[in-house]
Amino acid sequence: MDSHAHPAPNLRIGDLAPNFSARSTAGEISLADYRGKWLMLFSHPADFTPVCTSEFVAIAEAEDRFTQMNCQLVALSVDSLFSHFAWIRAIRDRFGVEVRFPIVEDPTLVIGNAYGMVSNDAADSATMRTTFFIDPDGYVRATSSYPATVGRSVDEMIRTLCALQAVDANGSLAPANWQPGKEMLLPAQPTLDDVLSGKNPSDWFYSTGNKT
């Protein structure tokens, strides 16, 4: 396993995602391999755990939806490659679902530390249930973190990805509870002419626009 980045415990939205190369269930992969497409990098505390198993079943069942949005899924945990293989087999035999996206091994927490998923002195991976939405240029555009006891919502992962892509496509803003096909918001126009010319007093800072 090789990390090309120094630990970044304060990795923020807008930062360049640290590159790494590591073994995975799909062979040796590098983050740079996915430039040109969206990447969903998500971690889980451990294989063979209830919540993580439920997540991987749900995410694997939705993989085609991510693919249609030009998004690659890559998972990460501290468990070994052989543990990943055994877990994937157990998932297939129990649920009839094949996990085909790469699961990266990170037994020394090198990648987890580089992404700020765990502190440099962490003894285990208990905090590693984090999702990074990385754009085609390699920049972190959104993140989400959950405790080990609460699973992610696949629908919210897809909604967030759709919103990021829609914002990039037309320059609009995604309002609360936005869903694809719904109206988006226009950026505020903080000039005196816009403030005085609007039909409604709030038009300069709250107007709907494109649908995506």
List active site positions: 52
d(CA 22, CA 58): 25
Count of helix runs (H) and strand runs (E) in the chain:
6, 10
Question: H or E segment at 144?
Answer: strand 140-145
CA 86 from centroid of its chain's CA atoms = 25
Q: Are strands 130-134 and 140-145 parallel, antiparallel or unpaired?
A: antiparallel
Q: How is residue 19 written in tokens? A: 């590159």
For 36, residues 6+ apart whose C-beta sits below 8 A from its C-beta are 136
d(CA 204, CA 185): 11
In three-state secondary structure terms, 166 is helix
DSSP β-bridge partners for residue 42: 75, 131
Are 72 and 33 contacting, i.e. CB atoms less than 8 angstroms apart?
no
Question: H or E segment at 94?
Answer: helix 81-95
DSSP β-bridge partners for residue 77: 105
